[in-house]
Structure 1
Amino acid sequence: MVAWLLRGVSMSVVHVVARVLLGLAIVHAPLQGTYWKTIAVAVVVLIAIIWGGVDGIADGRAHDDPEDYDDLTIRWLKAGLFTGVVSAIVSWALSNYLVAGMGQNSIFVEIFAGGSFTTLLVFLAALVGAAVGRLLARRQRAKNTKQNSDADTSQRQTADSH
């Protein structure tokens, strides 16, 4: 499966599940709506950051030179766009036909406003995660290189003294 499509489908499922649970929570506890919305957005962002971080670590380990890194920007932009459009359509259908409390927006509002927000949410969070992941991979590589060079130096000094 194409990398961006796997991420897009998975993040769409995460977002739709978060929206359904948010709708159910708001129906049962309407006065805590802000609290539930914050949790729902935080879950989607956290999953995108973690997955982007895993991508960044894998990419940083696979390439010694930052100029050789894979293009995670386009991968996550495609995934974010897919997530935004698909989750908007699915959420609209669920809100109008199955689940009360998810809102009654028109399909155009869901796609353009909700889809745009979701796209940016997934895209920016994943890029932050990828940047941090690449940074961690570079730090680990530098640390390993320094340890290897220190070990080589001490071995040479030991050999020279004998």
Structure 2
Amino acid sequence: MHSWLLRGLVMTAVHVVARVLLGVAVVNVPLQTTVWKTVAIAAVVIVALLWGGVDGLRDARANPDPDDYEDLTVRWLQAGVLAGVLAGLISWILGKFVFGGIGQQGLFVEIIAGGSFTALLVFVPAFVGAAVGRWLIRRDYNKKHPVEDDWSVHEDRSQDAEHAAR
């Protein structure tokens, strides 16, 4: 199974579960709609952020040279688009035939508008998480393996020469 497919299917499940729970909460406690919407969006964002971070950590550990990094951008973009389209379709089916409280939009709106929003909710946090994960590993690697550049060598020599001249 392709790695983006697995990520897309899991993020679809996370989004659909969050949306069903949001629908139940809104029907039962309609005055707290804003809080529940925030919690549902945060759940999807946090899962994508953490998973993207783990991907970034693994990738940076496997490839010490940044030029050899895997293309996590496309992986997570594909996963986000898949999650958006599938979550929109599943949410529309559930809203139409099973749960009346999770949405009243048409199929086209669910797939295009809702799918785009879901794709961004998955892609952007995962991309940020991957960048932070890679940065953490590179920072640790650079601490353990300092790079001597030409300027630092010249500065040390010039300071030594000044000190010797005094």
Deviation at 1:100, TM superposition (A): 2.2
Q: Contact conserved, 1:13 with 1:87, CA < 8 A, in 2?
A: yes
Q: Give the structure-2-normalised TM-score.
A: 0.86
SS at match of 2:88: helix
Matched residues in 2 for 1:85 and 1:110: separation? Answer: 8
Percent of pairs with identical residues = 59
Instruction: Map 1:13-162 to 2 at 5 A.
Output: 13-145=13-145
Matched residues in 1 for 2:114 and 2:41: separation? Answer: 12
Q: Contact conserved, 1:24 with 1:100, CA < 8 A, in 2?
A: no
- The root-mean-square deviation of aligned C-alpha atoms, in Å, is 0.8
Matched residues in 2 for 1:63 and 1:119: separation? Answer: 28
Aligned residues: 146
Unaligned 5+ segments in structure 1 are 147-162
Q: Contact conserved, 1:84 with 1:116, CA < 8 A, in 2?
A: yes
Unaligned 5+ segments in structure 2 are 147-166
Which amino acid letter does the alignment assign opposite residue 113 of structure 1?
Answer: A
Q: Give the structure-1-normalised TM-score.
A: 0.88
Matched residues in 2 for 1:103 and 1:73: separation? Answer: 31
Which amino acid letter does the alignment assign opposite residue 10 of structure 2?
Answer: S
